[in-house]
Amino acid sequence: MFGLSPGELLIIFIIIVLLFGARRLPELGSSLGHAIQNFRKAFRDAEAIDVTKEKDEEKKE
């Protein structure tokens, strides 16, 4: 995973806990999950628009 060993991931996790506190971690995880969902939805919508434009162009020809 990104070329990081488990030890490096543990150190990063500890730094995150120290910076944000254990109480805010679930909130941060939830926010990250929503951001990823919104990104995927926007990407799918953009692809759907591209496909629709291609079909419209084919019909015009």
Q: Give me the residue spans of the domains in the chain.
A: 6-60
pTM above 0.75, yes or no: no
The pLDDT of residue 41 is 93
Which residue has better confidence, 33 or 61? 33
The pLDDT of residue 49 is 82
Three-state SS for 4-53 is CCHHHHHHHHHHHHHHHCCCCHHHHHHHHHHHHHHHHHHHHHHHHHHHHH
Token pair 């419209």 is found at: 56
The pLDDT of residue 61 is 65
State the sign of the Cα–Cα–Cα–Cα dihedral 12, 16, 18, 19: positive
Q: Is the pLDDT of residue 56 over 80?
A: no
pLDDT digits (tens, 9 = 90+) for 16-40: 889 888 888 889 889 999 999 999 9
